[in-house]
Amino acid sequence: MDFELVLRNSDALFDGVKVTLAIALVGAIIGIVFGSAICALRIGRLRLLRGMARGYILFFRITPEVILIFWAYYCIPLIFDASVSGFWAGSVVLGLIAAAYLAEIFRAGIEAVPKGQREAAESLGLRAFPKWTLVILPQALRLVIAPLVNYFSEFLKNTTLLSAIGVMDLSLQAYLLGGKTYQYISFLSAIAIIYFALIFPVTLYARRLEHRLGDRNALPRVAKASFFSRLKLPRGAA
Residues making contact with another protein (CB under 8 A): 58-59, 61-68, 70-71, 73-75, 77-86, 153, 156-161, 163-166, 171-172, 174-176, 178-179, 182, 184-185, 188-189, 191-192, 195-196, 199-200, 203, 234, 236-238
Instruction: Give whichever of 121 and 167 is closer to another protein, judged by the CB atom.
Output: 167
Nearer CB in complex with another protein: 9/158: 158
78 in Cβ contact with 9 (< 8 Å): no
Shortest distance in whole angstroms from residue 186 CB to another protein:
10
The residues near 95 (Cβ < 8 Å, ≥ 6 apart) are 26, 27, 28, 29, 30, 31, 34
Comparison of 8 and 180: residue with beta carbon closer to another protein? 180
CB of 142 to another protein, least distance (A): 23
Q: Smallest distance from the beta carbon of 194 to another protein, in angstroms?
A: 9
Q: How far is the CB of 77 from another protein (least distance, A)?
A: 3
How far apart are the C-alpha atoms of 207 and 213, rounded to whole Å? 10
What Rg value do the Cα atoms of the chain yield, rounded? 22
Least separation in angstroms between residue 58's CB and another protein is: 8
DSSP 19-66: HHHHHHHHHHHHHHHHHHHHHHHHTSS-HHHHHHHHHHHHHHHHS-HH
| Closer Cβ to another protein, 15 or 117, answer by number | 15
Using the minimum distance from each CB to another protein, give the nearer residue, 117 or 183. Answer: 183
Distance of CA 39 to the CA centre of its chain: 16
Cα→Cα distances 163→19, 31, 159, 194, Å: 11, 20, 8, 16
